[in-house]
Amino acid sequence: MKLLAIETATEGCSAALFSDGEISLRYRLKPRGHSELILDMMEQLLAEGGLKAANLDALAFGRGPGSFTGVRIATGVIQGVAFAADLPVVRVSTLAALAQRAYREKGECNLLPAYDARMGELYWAGYRIGENELVMPVIAEQVASAEQVEIPSDHGWYGIGSGWGVYGGQLGKRMKGSLLGYKADMYCSAREIAQLAAEDYLAGLAVAPEQALPVYLRNNVAKKMKTQM
């Protein structure tokens, strides 16, 4: 299986080529300029693999949550390539991918990824590592203040992501002794987008290009509140 993945929703801009179990990565930590970088990264990976987009089985992208502009860049690029090459697309949570990276680099199995969502809120979720060494969601994705996000009831959790850099003190107080520690300067990567997307593709979870839509948690919350009024 051959799959090309991109991630532009966070500070790190990256692309990864999954080819029969091997992953090649292009990654650059740059808060701005993702739209200029990502196409070159994709072209480099395809050229090195001796491939064209039409030779791929699927595409994948970090569908959010994250930077509004960054998520839209990834969505637009992937949809454009997918339509042109007639390829299906796998949508991957950027929170899940961040947790997967933390497992690979830190070895922690109970993970709380968090991105700073601005406006006094953070994007938040909880994952455990399953028997296949891939993340499984145990706390649903949400956007809320540090005082309102859902906290796990058991012990042994590790936090990652920019949300911990901003709200680590408040979150740590709420979790008391159940927090092992956290690393704020870790970002999502297309490597884990590709890894998770390959599994989802085999599970039949790819969608048509027109269905490859982003996720904006704050929009979802606003719509929910409006329906309750």
Q: Which two tokens stand for residue 20?
A: 């029969």
Q: What's the rounded mean pLDDT across residues 34-51?
A: 95
pTM flag (> 0.85) = yes
Q: Report the CATH architecture of 2-93+189-215.
A: 2-Layer Sandwich (3.30)
Render pLDDT for 81-138 as a digit per residue (tens, 0 to 9). Answer: 999 999 999 999 999 999 999 999 999 999 999 999 999 999 999 999 999 999 999 9
Q: What is the pLDDT of residue 229?
A: 31
Residues of the chain with CATH 3.30.420.40: 2-93+189-215, 94-183
Sign of the Cα pseudo-torsion (3, 192, 115, 222, in order): positive
Q: What's the rounded mean pLDDT across residues 148-166?
A: 97
Residue 221 predicted with pLDDT over 80: no
Determine contact, residues 3/165, Cβ cutoff 8 Å: no
CATH hierarchy code of domain 94-183: 3.30.420.40
Q: What's the rounded mean pLDDT across residues 174-190?
A: 96
Q: What is the pLDDT of residue 35?
A: 87
Q: For residue 219, name the pLDDT band (cuts at 50, 70, 90).
A: low
Q: What is the pLDDT of residue 166?
A: 97
Q: Which of 35, 39, 94 is nearest to 216 (CA)?
A: 94
Render pLDDT for 17-33 as a digit per residue (tens, 0 to 9). Answer: 999 999 999 999 887 78
**E strands, the chain, where?**
2-7, 12-19, 22-29, 58-62, 89-92, 110-118, 121-129, 135-144, 157-160, 179-183
Q: What is the pLDDT of residue 218?
A: 80
* Cα 17 from Cα 56, distance rounded (Å): 10
